Amino acid sequence: MFTLKKTFSILSIAALFLMACATDGDTGPAGPVGPEGPLGPAGQDGTIGRDGVDGQDGAASVVSSVFFVDSASWTNPAGVNGIVNSINVPSISGNIVSNGVVLLYQTTDNSNPTSTIWNAVPYTDGVFSFGYTYGPGVINLKITVTVNGSVPTLAAARDRTYRVVVITPGAKIAGFDYGNFEEVKMVYGLED
């Protein structure tokens, strides 16, 4: 005779056996998205950064100007080996003279100065030598003759167009060759 305890044990073993042999069915469809949970606590504020140092204004660091010098304005003073002229350039300060760069270029084609080739001064064209000096507010131009040591007369004076580029000390580039205007124009972003 079976006792209740034995019957219960046999039924438990049978149930366990059936559960172990059961196979999983196909996964049902996803249920609907649940409601959004409550907003979490606010995070801690970060530290405030410090202000940076203002940079130097780009427009003021390099000034490029074009000057037309009329042939009638050249002079041939006594005791000077050459003809001379000057250009007033207010952007040349004492600080520029001491620590900056002043460049002078001359075009040989006065018909359209914005599309011509600019030659760095000083230079020689085979007959004449073109040079310059500068001080605060001024560039002094000088033309001498290189053939047979001749002294140029006012007959050598012609209309000439010059481009002056004034570079502040902070904008100077060590080791840069300023002799090529196209490179200077590209590096400093100069316009015609």
Is the pLDDT assigned to residue 1 strictly greater than 60?
no
Report yes or no on 130 lying in a domain.
yes
Report yes or no on 56 lying in a domain.
no
Report yes or no on 13 lying in a domain.
no
Report yes or no on 115 lying in a domain.
yes
Is the pLDDT assigned to residue 144 strictly greater than 80?
yes
Q: pLDDT tens across 35-74, in order?
A: 877 877 877 776 776 665 555 444 458 999 999 998 899 9
> Is this structure's pTM higher than 0.75?
no
Taking the C-alpha atoms of residue 175 and residue 153, their distance in angstroms, rounded to an integer, is: 38
Is the pLDDT assigned to residue 115 strictly greater than 80?
no
Is the pLDDT assigned to residue 163 strictly greater than 90?
yes
* Stretch 88-93: mean pLDDT: 95
Taking the C-alpha atoms of residue 167 and residue 178, their distance in angstroms, rounded to an integer, is: 11
Report yes or no on 163 lying in a domain.
yes
Report yes or no on 125 lying in a domain.
yes
Report yes or no on 107 lying in a domain.
yes
> What's the number of domains the chain is made of?
1
Q: pLDDT tens across 167-188, in order?
A: 999 999 988 889 988 899 999 9
Question: What range does the domain containing 155 cover?
Answer: 61-187
Instruction: Report the percentage of the chain scoring pLDDT > 70.
Output: 72
Residue 139 confidence (pLDDT): 97
Residues in the chain: 192
Report yes or no on 19 lying in a domain.
no
Is the pLDDT assigned to residue 9 strictly greater than 70?
no
Instruction: Report the percentage of the chain scoring pLDDT > 90.
Output: 33
